[in-house]
């Protein structure tokens, strides 16, 4: 072996490529766990050609050494990974054989000793609340049965505005009451109850006449809003970017798109780069690379005025997000209805 190393690196280089190819073919063809260890020793053991070369790296010239070091390490890792993968596969095959030879019914349910846990929607809701409480928001809840006033009128929806149709509303009785279609009416309740400055989140159930794979007649939203002197769109951006990073990590991109809500001006919809395909395009993001997760904007001055808050003095931002959407993305669930069927087999996966 010393002779080989004494030759130039160029010679060794060709040889180890062939050696690597040979090793990978051999590993692929292996059939029993014992052979695997022998093969590992053959290619990566103390006396192997590759380890010999690695030990002798110091003797190479300063120009050759970095390339040789990198290459040898890469090949070593490649072989290690191939062996590990093969090992796992062989263990799997062996276990399979054991199970097949055993004389018991592996489809019988085991004895249940499981502990209960929170529903994925509750889990995500708690996570989100925690993030915003850390940022200094307080939690406020409002009623699920609302009046037209709170759900629409005081939020600046004009009578007969198409936005009212947009939110297919469950009206109750003669139509004076309704199931809230969003958590935004809690903004109004809070403005009645507190003086600004205030920073509030309002988690809770909301209702819409809508049902398909991505819509459920009952779902959950988290509303957030902040009213203070000099609050501007930059604060909204900063808060939501911080929130998205908390939730999905630093790698996620955030984009704001102009939109419309009667109670915010300007309004935006917020997209994040797809957490599943990282922007490359997949089924979940409909090949766009982006996922819409939030509606937001600056609280419309009309809303503040109606609540006797002087819009010359106070400004605010608001946002609303769907909890189920976040949970579905987190757990890769593609049908919202699964979250409501209470199928124990489904729920136990989380
Ligand atoms: N209430 C809006 C909805 O349900 C979301 C929203 C909340 C938008 C707050 C802007 C500000 O779609």
Q: What is the pLDDT of residues 122-170, one digit of tens each?
A: 999 999 999 999 999 999 999 999 999 999 999 999 988 765 764 588 9
pLDDT at 187: 98
pLDDT at 167: 55
C-alpha angle 139-145-146 in degrees, rounded to nearest 5: 85
Across 8-17, 180-189, 210-219, 320-329, the highest mean pLDDT is recorded for 180-189
Q: What is the mean pLDDT of residues 104-127?
A: 86
Q: What is the mean pLDDT of residues 234-253?
A: 92
Ligand 1 in contact with 151 (CB < 6 A)? no
The residue whose CA has the least distance to atom 2 of ligand 1 is 320
Residue 300 CA to ligand 1 centre (angstroms): 12
Position in ligand 1 atom list of the atom nearest CA 181 = 4
pLDDT > 70 fraction of the chain, expressed in percent and rounded: 95
At the top level of CATH, which class does the domain 120-347 belong to?
Answer: alpha beta
Sequence-distant (≥ 6) Cβ neighbours of residue 350 within 8 angstroms: 117, 120, 123, 331
Residue 239 CA to ligand 1 centre (angstroms): 16
Ligand 1 in contact with 216 (CB < 6 A)? no
Res. 1 pLDDT band, cuts 50 70 90 = very low
Provide the 8-state DSSP code for 142.
-
Q: Going edge to edge, which strands form the sheet with 177-179?
A: 145-147, 177-179, 171-172
pLDDT at 34: 65
Query: Is the model's pLDDT at 236 over the cut of 60?
Result: yes
pTM: 0.67
Backbone angles phi, psi at 249, to 5 degrees: 90, 175
Residue 193 CA to ligand 1 centre (angstroms): 21
pLDDT at 8: 64
Res. 249 pLDDT band, cuts 50 70 90 = confident
| Mean of per-residue pLDDT scores for the chain | 89
CB 207 within 8 A of CB 170: yes
Query: Is the model's pLDDT at 206 over the cut of 70?
Result: yes
Across 63-72, 94-103, 128-137, the highest mean pLDDT is recorded for 128-137
CB 140 within 8 A of CB 200: yes
The residue whose CA has the least distance to atom 10 of ligand 1 is 296
* Tokens 């780069």, residue located: 273
Query: Is the model's pLDDT at 210 over the cut of 90?
Result: no
Name which of 51-65, 83-97, 155-169, 187-201 the model is least confident about.
Answer: 155-169
pLDDT at 2: 45
Query: What residue spans of the chain are helical by DSSP H?
Result: 2-6, 9-29, 33-44, 49-55, 64-101, 120-134, 148-151, 162-166, 185-193, 233-248, 301-306, 323-331, 344-347
| Cβ count within 10 A of residue 92 | 10
């Amino acid at each position: 072996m010393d002779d080989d190393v004494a030759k130039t690196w160029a010679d060794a280089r060709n040889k180890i490529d062939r050696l690597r190819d040979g090793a990978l073919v051999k590993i692929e063809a292996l059939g029993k766990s014992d052979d695997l260890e022998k093969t590992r020793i053959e290619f990566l053991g103390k006396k192997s050609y590759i380890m010999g070369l690695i030990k002798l790296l110091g003797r190479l010239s300063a120009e050759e050494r970095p390339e040789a070091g990198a290459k040898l390490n890469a090949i070593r890792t490649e072989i290690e990974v191939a062996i590990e993968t093969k090992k796992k596969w062989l263990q799997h095959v062996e276990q399979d054989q054991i199970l097949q030879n055993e004389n018991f019914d592996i489809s019988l349910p085991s004895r249940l000793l499981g502990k209960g846990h929170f529903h994925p929607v509750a889990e995500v809701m708690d996570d989100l609340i925690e993030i915003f409480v850390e940022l200094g928001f307080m939690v406020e809840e409002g009623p699920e049965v609302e009046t037209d006033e709170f759900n629409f009128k005081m939020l600046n929806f004009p009578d007969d505005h198409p936005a009212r149709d947009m939110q297919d509303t469950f009206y109750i009785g003669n139509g004076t009451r309704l199931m809230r279609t969003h958590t935004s009416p809690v903004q109004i309740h809070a403005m009645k109850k507190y003086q600004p400055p205030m920073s509030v989140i309002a988690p809770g159930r909301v209702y819409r006449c809508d049902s398909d794979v991505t819509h459920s007649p009952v779902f959950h939203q988290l509303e957030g809003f902040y009213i203070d002197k000099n609050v501007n769109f930059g604060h909204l951006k900063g808060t939501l970017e911080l929130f998205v990073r908390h939730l999905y990590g630093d790698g996620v991109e955030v984009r704001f798109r102009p939109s419309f809500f009667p109670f915010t001006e300007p309004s935006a919809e917020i997209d994040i780069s797809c957490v599943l395909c990282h922007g490359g395009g997949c089924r979940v993001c409909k090949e766009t690379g982006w996922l819409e997760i939030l509606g937001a904007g600056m609280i419309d001055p009309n809303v503040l005025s109606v609540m006797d808050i002087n819009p010359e003095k106070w400004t605010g931002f608001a946002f609303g997000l769907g909890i189920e959407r976040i949970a579905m993305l987190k757990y890769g669930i593609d049908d919202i209805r699964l979250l409501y069927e209470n199928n124990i087999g489904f729920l136990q996966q989380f």
